[in-house]
């Protein structure tokens, strides 16, 4: 913060929050990553997780909470009291699942991760979905993949 700047932290938007607002969740559609180098830090048991209505472990805020996918602590978002962001800065636990929309965020990559595509995240996404909606998630439509028919090419070369 520049010298002589206001000391009120409620008026100050730090650079990280400003970047998130410009390029993250506040800007509209964000394409989640389909790979991440920080998955090695995932908890070994992501099938047994707290329920989505679990309040923040620090301030007891009831909504906008995230699950740390490394230690399974539930903490509030950067839009509440920033306890999950503080947790990342203190522990370097990069991966968290939002109980609001079941998205997965990697703090180190500064990006959302596609939990339905990334194999190590599929079980926690599935479990969180069932805990939140009392039913399994709908099957995700497979993305179109263009497949060429090699048989047509090979049949013309047999002459």
Cα 113 to Cα 128: distance, rounded to the nearest angstrom = 15
- What's the confidence (pLDDT) of residue 18? 56
Q: Which of 139, 103, 125, 119 is nearest to 49 (CA)?
A: 125
Q: pLDDT category, 103, cuts 50, 70, 90?
A: very high
Look at residue 149 and tell me whether its pLDDT is greater than 50.
no
Lowest mean pLDDT among 3-17, 18-32, 119-133: 3-17
Q: Which of 89, 65, 94 is nearest to 78 (CA)?
A: 65
- pTM: predicted TM-score of the whole model, two decimal places: 0.71
Mean pLDDT of 99-114: 97
Mean pLDDT of 18-22: 54
Lowest mean pLDDT among 23-27, 52-56, 79-83, 92-96: 23-27
Cα 27 to Cα 37: distance, rounded to the nearest angstrom = 25
Helical H segments across the chain, by residue range = 15-23, 83-91, 119-133, 150-156
**Cβ distance 49 to 128 under 8 Å?**
yes
Look at residue 150 and tell me whether its pLDDT is greater than 60.
no
Look at residue 50 and tell me whether its pLDDT is greater than 70.
yes
Q: pLDDT category, 144, cuts 50, 70, 90?
A: very low
């Amino acid at each position: 913060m520049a010298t002589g700047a206001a000391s009120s932290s409620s008026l100050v938007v730090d650079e990280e929050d400003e970047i998130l607002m410009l390029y993250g969740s506040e800007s509209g559609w964000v394409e989640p990553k389909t790979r991440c180098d920080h998955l090695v830090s995932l908890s070994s048991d992501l099938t047994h997780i707290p329920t989505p209505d679990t309040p923040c472990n620090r301030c007891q805020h009831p909504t906008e909470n995230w699950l740390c996918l490394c230690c399974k602590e539930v903490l509030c978002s950067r839009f509440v009291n920033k306890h999950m962001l503080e947790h990342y800065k203190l522990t370097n636990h990069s991966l968290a699942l939002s109980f609001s929309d079941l998205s997965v965020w990697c703090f180190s990559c500064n990006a959302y991760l596609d939990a339905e595509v990334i194999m190590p995240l599929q079980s926690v996404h599935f479990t969180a979905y069932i805990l939140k909606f009392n039913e399994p998630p709908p099957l995700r439509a497979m993305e179109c993949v263009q497949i060429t028919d090699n048989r047509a090419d090979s049949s013309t070369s047999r002459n």
